Structures are given as C-alpha cells and as structure tokens.
C-alpha cells in the first residue's frame, strides 16, 4: 500500500470504509460500492492498484468465476497471496475493490466482464489473459458477440506484453486471440455451437468434425493445441497425462481446470503442484454447495444463458430427483428472457419441476411448449416443503443470489 500515491491510498481507504458499511447494512459484500467510491475519488485507481503485480485476467461468457477460482488455487502453490474478486464483481469497481483489499498481494487473478476486457486490459497490463468462450448472453445489455470478438481482437493485438491462454475449440475466441503476439491454445471444448456456425473472418459456413473446425473459403481454422482435456484427464504441453479427480462436477469444470493449469504453468507451477489445490475446491461463490434446509439436502447450481444451462443439466442428479428452476430479469441478468427458448428442457422429463423467481411465468410458458409438467411456487422454502430427500436448484444470477441469502449466504 505504501507504494501508492497518497490520493490513491485515501481513495482505497474510503472505498474500504464504504464497503464495510455496506456489509454492516446487509447490502451484499460491499465490493461494488467500495470500488465505486474509490474510482470516483481517483479515476486511475485500478491502474495504480494493478501496478507492480502479476495479473491474470479471465473472461468469457461462461466459466469465468470458476476458472478464476481455480487459477487462484493453483497460484497458491507459489506460497504468496493472490488478490481476486472471488464473488464475481467483474467490472472496474469490483476489480479495484479486490485489489484494494489485498494491497500487498504480488499476484492477482481477476474475472472480467467480457464487454469490459479492452478497458481493463489497458488499465492493468496483465501478464496473462484467459479467453474461455463467446455465446449469446444478456442480449439487451451486451454487444453482439461478433462485435465483442472484434473488440477483443483489436485490444489483444495492441497488448504486446500479455500472454493469451485461449480455447481453440471456440471459433470466435480463436479468431479474437489470433491477433495476440503469444498464445497458448487449449482444447476446452464447445458444446454450445449455435452462435458459431459461420467463419468470424469471412462469414462463410464453418466445416466441423468433432472439436475440429475450419472455414471452407479462407484460411481461418482451429489452431494446433498444446493442452487438452481428454475425458477425466489433462494432457499437458509436454504430452503427459494427469488424472484431474476434481471435487467440482461436470465436463465444463474439468475444462475450466485444464485452462487454469495452462495458466499457472506459465508462472512455473507444474500440474503435479497445482492439482492438489484444485482438488480442494468444492464450491465457487455458493455454486455446487450442498446445504441442509428443513431436513432436505439442497444443491445450488447457477446458469445464466443457453450454454450455461446446457452444461448445468449435465450435473443434475438423475431422475426422479426434483428440481427448482428460478429466473429473474434484473439488470445483472439482462431484461430480455427470450433466451429461454434456446434451451431444450425436455431433459427434465421424469422429475418434479418447480418454478420460482420474478419471471417464472416466462419459464412456465417455455416448459409448457416442451410438454414438461411443472408447479409454480412462491420461493425456495415452498419447494423444499413439497419434496422429500434431495433437491437440485438451478437459477440465473440474481435469483441465485436471493436463494443463497435465504439459505444463509452459503459460500
């Protein structure tokens, strides 16, 4: 902290006070308001707080929070503090607050909203930038994803000091990352492909075979990868295979772990050093947490767009385990719920389905179209009282936070 100019130190201190007051008032973790106050007092605060650190930026439509958590765990093997916005406050205010709360941490792993990546890239001069995926999300707020890919491409082309770790299986990500001077390519998969059938370079139809893809009209093609997810194993850049054995469920989290391992390898942390720490991660900002509520076991899952729901369905307990679906349409979620029609809900056949959240009627219409029986409820406790044993809860962002608060702010 002493290395900061006096104005920056005062801004950080005032922001920290605002954050603590917000927490005392029961208004969240205080990270956003604290960062907002700090940046109002010192507009260059984020750059000042990032200076002198080795920063990792993680962005993409899905998996940011989990991948950031896994990168943080892996970097922990270096034995030094790692600053991180662990609860997903991923715009400039949240990043400033996270760095301000760990002023002496030499490393930082920061989740970044995909729309803000160019600005944050310029402000923080990161050592590594992680690009996970790009698919439709918050369509009333975020830019069209091809425009986002263009913005990423321009920003990365100008960031000569950053190493990029990118998902080669996503054509938009691969095209955006290819402008960077130095890229580590990871095969992390792309199950949701409805947003990338066309070549991002020339607009022609992409030819696909498994994870491989290429354009039939221009030179755009999947780059050669050096890190691979192979079932339950990671194959590292030297061709060695390691069992992942994660506590976190599902293929998407195994893919996130492979990306994280490629990142920490750049800092000198070998796979065998990092894996024990990654295996200890059992929950990410409340996701995948199993809690007891009124004698029932309740597991919390988050999904906020079609790609995320597709992956979340994979980790549900098998039928007839009941499920609560909760959807809001507040500003952090995006006001537009038309994306619900891109999700195939027929996978929920054979189980009781309860609907809650501010936009449960939108969800009800969608399930009715897929001929999935459902029951409207007034909240999580009403659904809990209607089942025996175990219950899965799948919610979008603000609905998830409301349910976490009801259940006691599980971590």
**pLDDT tens, position by position, 54-103:** 999 999 999 999 999 999 999 999 999 999 998 888 999 999 999 999 99
Domain stops at, among 279, 311, 335: 279
Q: Which pTM does this prediction carry?
A: 0.93
Domain stops at, among 238, 257, 279: 279
Based on C-alpha coordinates, what's the Rg of the chain?
21
Domain stops at, among 224, 247, 279: 279
Indicate the SS3 state at residue 55.
strand
pLDDT score at 28: 61
Least confident of 2-6, 143-147, 311-315, 391-395: 2-6
Same domain, 10 and 121: yes
Q: How many other CB atoms are found less than 10 A from the CB of residue 124?
A: 25
Segment 183-199 mean pLDDT? 92
2 by Cβ neighbours in 10 Å (0-12 / 13-18 / 19+) ranks as exposed
How far does Cα 291 stand from its chain's mean position?
A: 22
Answer whether residue 174 shows pLDDT above 80. yes
Based on the structure, what is the number of domains in the chain?
2
Cα–Cα distance measured from residue 188 to residue 228, given in angstroms and rounded to the nearest whole number: 7
Residue 180: C-alpha distances to residues 54, 131, 408 (Å): 18, 12, 44
The answer to whether the beta carbons of residues 383 and 350 sit under 8 Å apart is no
Please provide the average confidence, as pLDDT, over all residues in the chain. 92
Residue 127's contacts (CB-CB under 8 Å, 6 or more residues apart) are 54, 55, 56, 161, 162, 163, 266
Same domain, 224 and 331: no
Domain membership flag for residue 285:
no
Residue 17 — very low, low, confident or very high, per pLDDT cuts 50/70/90?
A: confident
Same domain, 294 and 271: no
Domain membership flag for residue 91:
yes
pLDDT score at 137: 78
Domain membership flag for residue 1:
no
The answer to whether the beta carbons of residues 356 and 380 sit under 8 Å apart is yes
Residue 129 — very low, low, confident or very high, per pLDDT cuts 50/70/90?
A: very high
Q: Residue 28 is part of a domain; what is its CATH number?
A: 3.40.1190.10
Segment 225-250 mean pLDDT? 97
Domain membership flag for residue 284:
no
pLDDT score at 60: 95
How far does Cα 355 stand from its chain's mean position?
A: 24
Number of H helices and E strands in the chain, helices first, is 14, 17
pLDDT score at 53: 96
pLDDT score at 326: 97
Which helix (H) or strand (E) element contains residue 302? strand 296-302
200-205's contacts with Cβ under 8 Å and 24+ in sequence apart are 200/146, 200/149, 200/171, 200/172, 200/175, 200/176, 201/175
Segment 198-202 mean pLDDT? 94
How far does Cα 154 stand from its chain's mean position?
A: 22
Residue 9 — very low, low, confident or very high, per pLDDT cuts 50/70/90?
A: confident
Which helix (H) or strand (E) element contains residue 98? helix 92-101
Of the two residues 336 and 6, the one the predictor is more confident about is: 336
Which conformational region is residue 212 in: left (phi greater than 0), alpha (psi within -120 to 50 degrees), or beta? Answer: beta
Same domain, 225 and 351: no
Segment 118-140 mean pLDDT? 90
**pLDDT tens, position by position, 245-271:** 999 999 999 999 999 999 999 999 999
Q: How many other CB atoms are found less than 10 A from the CB of residue 301?
A: 24
Same domain, 371 and 230: no
Structure tokens at 227: 């890190």
List the strands of the sheet with 183-187, edge to edge: 82-84, 107-111, 54-59, 128-131, 163-167, 183-187, 227-230, 233-235, 241-243
Q: Residue 371 is part of a domain; what is its CATH number?
A: 3.90.190.20
pLDDT score at 195: 87
Same domain, 111 and 232: yes
Of the two residues 194 and 226, the one the predictor is more confident about is: 226
pLDDT score at 161: 86
Q: Which domain holds residue 65?
A: 6-279
């Amino acid at each position: 902290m002493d290395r900061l100019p006096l104005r920056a130190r005062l801004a950080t201190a005032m922001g920290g006070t605002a954050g603590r007051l917000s927490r005392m008032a029961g208004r969240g973790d205080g990270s956003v308001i604290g960062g907002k106050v700090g940046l109002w007092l010192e507009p260059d605060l984020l750059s000042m707080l990032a200076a002198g650190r080795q920063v990792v930026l993680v962005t993409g439509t899905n998996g940011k929070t989990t991948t950031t958590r896994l990168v943080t765990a892996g970097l922990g093997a270096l034995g030094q503090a790692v600053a991180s916005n662990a609860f997903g406050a991923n715009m400039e205010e949240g990043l400033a607050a996270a760095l301000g709360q760990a002023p002496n941490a030499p490393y930082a792993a920061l989740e970044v909203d995909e729309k803000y990546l160019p600005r944050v890239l310029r402000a923080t001069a990161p050592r590594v930038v992680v690009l996970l995926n790009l698919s439709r999300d918050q369509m009333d707020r975020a830019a069209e994803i091809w425009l986002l890919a263009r913005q990423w491409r321009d920003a990365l082309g100008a960031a000569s000091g950053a190493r990029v770790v990118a998902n080669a299986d996503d054509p938009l990500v691969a095209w955006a990352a290819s402008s960077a001077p130095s890229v580590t390519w990871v095969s992390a998969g792309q199950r949701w492909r409805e947003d990338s059938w066309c070549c991002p370079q020339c607009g022609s139809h992409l030819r696909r075979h498994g994870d491989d893809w290429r354009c039939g009209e221009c030179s755009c093609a999947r780059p050669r990868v050096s890190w691979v997810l192979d079932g339950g194993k990671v194959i590292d850049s030297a061709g060695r295979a390691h069992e992942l054995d994660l506590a976190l469920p599902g293929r998407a989290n195994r893919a996130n772990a492979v990306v994280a391992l490629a990142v920490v390898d750049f800092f000198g942390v070998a796979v065998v050093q990092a894996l024990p720490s990654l295996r200890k991660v059992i929950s990410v900002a409340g996701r995948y947490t199993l809690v007891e509520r009124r004698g029932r076991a309740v597991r919390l899952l988050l999904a906020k767009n079609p790609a995320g729901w597709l992956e979340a369905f994979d980790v549900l307990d098998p039928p007839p385990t009941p499920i609560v679906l909760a959807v809001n349409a507040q500003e952090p979620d995006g006001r537009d719920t038309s994306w619900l029609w891109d999700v195939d809900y027929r996978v929920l056949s054979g189980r009781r389905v309860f609907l809650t959240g501010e936009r449960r009627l939108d969800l009800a219409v969608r399930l009715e179209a897929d001929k999935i029986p459902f029951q409207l409820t007034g909240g999580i406790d009403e659904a809990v009282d209607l089942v025996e044993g175990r219950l899965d809860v799948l919610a979008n962002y603000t609905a998830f936070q409301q349910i976490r608060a009801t259940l006691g702010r599980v971590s």
